[in-house]
């Protein structure tokens, strides 16, 4: 996959007990054509090595176009693994930002 660049990774789940998944926004070069607004949906705890991973891919600029999700499994899985590895860092940064906002909005 040429020039695969992740722009955002988020975690979701459907309702209280619903299936957990990650969404990955990315861009890449499709044989000379830049694809700059792609979205992949990837299940939590996917077992990539077993080869039976569901990965759904949508071009947000043209949602009617078909994409083979299995072609994107490995770069998307790597993006999700990186996102998960940075969990404590993200939490600390979010807490620092919240503290900063609370300090600014503190009323006498």
pLDDT exceeds 80 at position 56? yes
User: Residues 6 or more apart from 69 whose CB is under 8 A from it?
Assistant: 40, 54, 55, 56, 57
| Vertex 33 angle, CA 76 and 61, to 5° | 70
- Residue in 13, 66, 8 with CA at minimum distance from that of residue 39: 8
Q: Tokens 């998307």 sit at which residue?
A: 76
Show the 3-state SS of 69-99: HHHCHHHHHHHHHHHHHCHHHHHHHHHHHHH
Domain that holds residue 28: 2-105
Query: Is-contact 16 5, C-beta < 8 A?
Result: no
- For the chain, what is the domain count? 1
pLDDT band, very low/low/confident/very high, at 60 (cuts 50, 70, 90) = very high
Which range is least confidently modeled, 9-13, 72-76, 92-96?
A: 92-96
Q: Encoding tokens for residue 24?
A: 């990955």
Q: Is the pTM of this model over 0.75?
A: no
Question: What is the tens place of the pLDDT at every residue in 15-53?
Answer: 788 888 889 999 999 888 888 899 999 888 766 656 667
């Amino acid at each position: 996959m040429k020039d695969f660049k992740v722009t955002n990774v988020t975690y979701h789940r459907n309702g209280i007990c619903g299936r957990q998944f990650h969404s990955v926004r990315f861009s890449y070069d499709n044989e000379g054509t830049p694809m700059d607004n792609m979205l992949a949906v990837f299940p939590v705890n996917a077992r990539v090595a077993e080869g039976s991973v569901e990965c759904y891919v949508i071009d947000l600029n043209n949602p009617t176009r078909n994409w083979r999700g299995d072609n994107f499994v490995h770069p998307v899985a790597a993006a999700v693994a990186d996102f998960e590895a940075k969990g404590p860092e993200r939490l600390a940064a979010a807490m620092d930002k919240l503290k900063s906002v609370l300090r600014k909005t503190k009323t006498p």
